[in-house]
Every structure is written in structure tokens, then in C-alpha cells.
Amino acid sequence: MKTKAAVVFEPGRPWEVVELELDPPKAGEVQVRFVAAGLCHSDEYMRLGELRPRYPLVGGHEGAGVIEAVGEGVTGLSVGDPVVCSFRPACGRCRFCAMGKSNLCDEGARLFEGSLPDGTFRFHHGDLDVGANAMLGTFSERAVVPAFSCIKVAEDLPLTSMAMLGCAVPTGWGAAVHSGDVRPGEVVVVLGSGGVGINAVQGARMAGAAETVVVDPVQDKLEIAKKLGATRTATTADEAKEIVQELTGGHGADKAIVTAGVPGLAESGFSMLRKGGTLVLAGMGNADTLRLDLPVSLIARADMRIVGSAMGSCNFQIDIPRLISLYRSGDLRLDELVSGTYALDDISLGYEDMYSGKNLRGVILFD
Ligand SMILES: NC(=O)c1ccc[n+]([C@@H]2O[C@H](COP(=O)([O-])OP(=O)(O)OC[C@H]3O[C@@H](n4cnc5c(N)ncnc54)[C@H](O)[C@@H]3O)[C@@H](O)[C@H]2O)c1
Ligand SMILES: [Zn+2]
Ligand SMILES: [Zn+2]
């Protein structure tokens, strides 16, 4: 079958929307017709070669669609089912899935290679095997993906908003709720309020933060952050630090959550923490040059905690239904996060709108 997809052929080249050949699903796989795909910043890092997957690669690791075909042995998913695709798979059998850490599932080793779990590829361009970001490739009209990367959702849910449950929402919400373990009454700083960060703001609010200080240079992002849980906002980290000092009588924040891959931002977040505070690192960037520069002796002496956050430390089979319940109850806002929709052919425009600060989350809509 043919499918139109946005591909990176070599790092640094623009997205190229081309027709690919798509193989049918093998055992344990399903074919999804995507309805919506979110424009996460991570795909751009891959296009630019800052994060280095195998190329060529169909972009997109956040999406929702409808099952069109199922491979041998697939249970629990049928043709016609609406699904959300998670960028972290959950095989259910490996050590990490068994530990309740499915965000670290061993099958995730293929996320950057883009092959399916059996090591082969379903997308082809002439003789070239084309990988799929996170084994998904949601920037394609159709894709063949592991069944264990999909979760069935109710038919009445709007798939445009549900698409963001594949990455931005659990990544941000979980960075506050799980990785940061935000507790009632705490003072939290969220650095970066884009697609991921705005969901950290919502997560901090739901976890009971007394104060959530949000830093982003783009004023429009701060305005929506105020509606969704920010109690104070700042356009620079220095300004946020002053606010934190004032709020805590000079002690510092309980948690700082970094949701942008900007050099120096993690260090700024760290400098705002109290003794024993937690720095949560969710933002990514250049694999070689984005490093941490922190005082080890102080970290030891002051009992500081520094934690990474992969998909917000979420177990998607549990957390996506939970997030949907919170959406239905009105606690988790999703529709408001979709700031622009684009045809697949206009993907580069969607990303320009991310860079210019116009987009909170751009979403590709398929016909
Ligand atoms: N850990 C994970 O599992 C995971 C998953 C998805 C995305 N990510 C990463 O999270 C980051 C955010 O992704 P996104 O899709 O939300 O991107 P985004 O571009 O929508 O958001 C980044 C935000 O940071 C803001 N920003 C820029 N410079 C800043 C500064 N100096 N101080 C404060 N804010 C600043 C931008 O205005 C923007 O609002 C990226 O680095 C991405 O690669 C990580
Ligand atoms: Zn993402
Ligand atoms: Zn697993």
C-alpha cells in the first residue's frame, strides 16, 4: 500500500513529504490510519541531527488514529478501533515493564533506529528501508506499528486532542506528578511552557502545588499557563529566581522542572531549589553539547536530587486512561493546547510556528 509521509533523508535537510510503500502488519503489529499527529520539538532535533536516529526516518511520535488492519496474534485491538499511539512502547514482559517502569521498556531500544521489534522496516522508498520515529512514524497517513504501542480509546473522544496523549501530555504531567513527586503545598518552578511544559503546569496544579512559577520568554505561553495553574510567571529565569526567593523566604523551591533543551536552563532551575530539592530534567537537546554543569559537593552536602524524566515516568497503559478521565472531568485541559492545525504538506510551516512562539502545540490533521 502507498502512504504519504514526512521524511528526513539526511540530518539538516528539510522535511520532505513523499510517497512511501507500506508493508502490511506482521505478527504483533497493527496498521493505523492516523487522524492527528502532534508536532513535538524532539522530531526537529532529529531532523537537525542534534539527536541522531538512523536515517532516513519518517518523523512523528505522537498521534492518534484508527486501526485498519491487525497482524497475527494481536489481541485486544480490532479494525475500526480508535487508538492513541505512545512513543514509549510497553511490551509487558521485559524486566522494566514487570517493575512497573514501562517507560523504560526494553523494546524502546529501537526508538532511534526506527525498525519494528523484529528488526525489519515497514516503510520503503524505492530500495531504501525507511525507519519510523519511535516505531510509529505518525507524520504519515498510515503506519504499521507494534500493537503494544497502542491503547484503545472511546469513540466519542476527539482524536485531535487525544494525539497529544502520545507524548506531550504524559511527558509534562508525569514530570510533575511522577518524576518530581510534587506534593500538596509545594513551591514548583516549571522552566519552559511549550507543549510539554504546559502539561507540567497542569500536573503540578493537580498534585496540589501551592505555588507554580512558570518561566517562558513568550508572553502568550505565560497567559495560558496562568489559566491552567501558574500562580506566578516570569520571562527569564533570573526573574523567576527572585519570585521564588520572595515566596519561600529565601529557602528556595521544592521542585524545578526543566522542559526545554536550552543550555544553562537546568543549572538555572537547580539554583532556585531549597536544600533537598529536586531538579527534574525532561527537556532534551543536542546529544553531545547539552551537558549539566553543577557543583557536586553542594549536591552531596545539601542532599539534592536530580532526576531524569522519560515520558514523565508514566506507565502509559495506566496513565493514558487516567489522563482521559481527568480530561472528561475538566481537570486536564487538552483542546485549548492545540494552537494550530496543519495539512501534512505544511509540516515545515507548523514547525516555523513552533519556533516563532506562535504554537503551544501544532497538530497535523490528515484528510
Ligand atoms: N523526556 C521526554 O520523554 C521528552 C518527551 C518529549 C519532548 N521532550 C523534550 O522536551 C522539550 C520540550 O518539547 P516541546 O515539544 O514542549 O517544545 P516547545 O518548543 O513546544 O517548548 C519549549 C518551550 O521552551 C521555551 N523556552 C525557550 N527558551 C527558554 C528559556 N531560556 N527559558 C525558559 N523557556 C524557554 C519556548 O518558548 C517554548 O515555549 C524538548 O527538549 C523535547 O525534546 C522530552
Ligand atoms: Zn515528543
Ligand atoms: Zn517491556
Give the pLDDT of residue 187: 99
Beta carbons within 10 angstroms of residue 184's beta carbon = 8
Give the pLDDT of residue 351: 98
Give the whole-angstrom CA distance, residue 131 versus residue 137.
8
Q: 171-310: what CATH class? A: alpha beta
Atom of ligand 1 at shortest range from CA of 312: 3
* DSSP reduced 3-state for 85: strand
CA of 169 to the centre of ligand 1 (A): 13
Q: Is the dihedral of CA 278, 192, 319, 151 positive or negative?
A: negative
CA of 124 to the centre of ligand 1 (A): 31
Protein residue with its CA nearest to atom 10 in ligand 1: 283
- Which helix or strand (DSSP H or E) is residue 350 part of? helix 347-355
41-71 residue pLDDT tens: 999 999 999 999 999 999 999 999 999 999 9
Ligand 1, residues at Cβ distance < 6 Å: 40-42, 45, 167-168, 171, 191-197, 215-218, 221, 259-262, 265, 282-285, 309-311, 354, 357
Protein residue with its CA nearest to atom 40 in ligand 1: 283
Q: Which of the four pLDDT bands, split at 50, 70 and 90, describes residue 84? A: very high
187-213 residue pLDDT tens: 999 999 999 999 999 999 999 999 999
CA of 38 to the centre of ligand 2 (A): 8
Among all bound ligands, the one having the nearest atom to the CA of 133 is 2
Q: Are 179 and 280 in contact (CB under 8 A)?
A: yes
CA of 62 to the centre of ligand 2 (A): 6
293-326 residue pLDDT tens: 999 999 999 999 999 999 999 999 999 999 999 9
For a ligand 1 pocket test, name from 196, 233, 262, 354 the mutation site with the most ligand atoms within 8 angstroms of its C-beta: 196
Around ion ligand 3, residues with a beta carbon closer than 5 Å are: 91, 94, 97, 105
For the chain, the domains span: 2-166+333-365, 171-310
Q: Which of the four pLDDT bands, split at 50, 70 and 90, describes residue 78? A: very high
**C-alpha cell at position 3:** 502512504
Q: Is the dihedral of CA 324, 65, 96, 50 positive or negative?
A: negative
Percent of the chain past pLDDT 70, that is, above it, reads 100
For a ligand 1 pocket test, name from 138, 284, 314, 356 the mutation site with the most ligand atoms within 8 angstroms of its C-beta: 284
Domains 2-166+333-365 and 171-310 share a fold: no
Give the pLDDT of residue 367: 83
CA of 311 to the centre of ligand 3 (A): 14
Atom of ligand 1 at shortest range from CA of 237: 32
What stretches of the chain adopt beta strand conformation (E)? Answer: 2-8, 16-22, 29-38, 57-58, 63-70, 82-85, 123-125, 128-132, 142-146, 150-152, 187-191, 211-215, 232-234, 253-258, 273-281, 305-308, 338-342, 361-365
Atom of ligand 1 at shortest range from CA of 361: 20
Task: Indicate the length of the chain as a whole number.
Answer: 367
pLDDT at 110 over 90: no
Give the pLDDT of residue 138: 98
For a ligand 1 pocket test, name from 219, 259, 271 the mutation site with the most ligand atoms within 8 angstroms of its C-beta: 259
What does the pLDDT average to over 276-284? 98
Burial class (CB in 10 A: 0-12, 13-18, 19+), 10: exposed
Give the pLDDT of residue 132: 98
Rounded to the nearest 10°, the torsion over CA 123, 125, 128, 132 is -30
Give the pLDDT of residue 183: 98
For a ligand 1 pocket test, name from 173, 216, 267 the mutation site with the most ligand atoms within 8 angstroms of its C-beta: 216
Atom of ligand 1 at shortest range from CA of 218: 37
pLDDT at 109 over 90: no
Domain with residues 2-166+333-365, CATH architecture? Alpha-Beta Complex (3.90)
211-268 residue pLDDT tens: 999 999 999 999 999 999 999 999 999 999 999 999 999 999 999 999 999 999 999 9
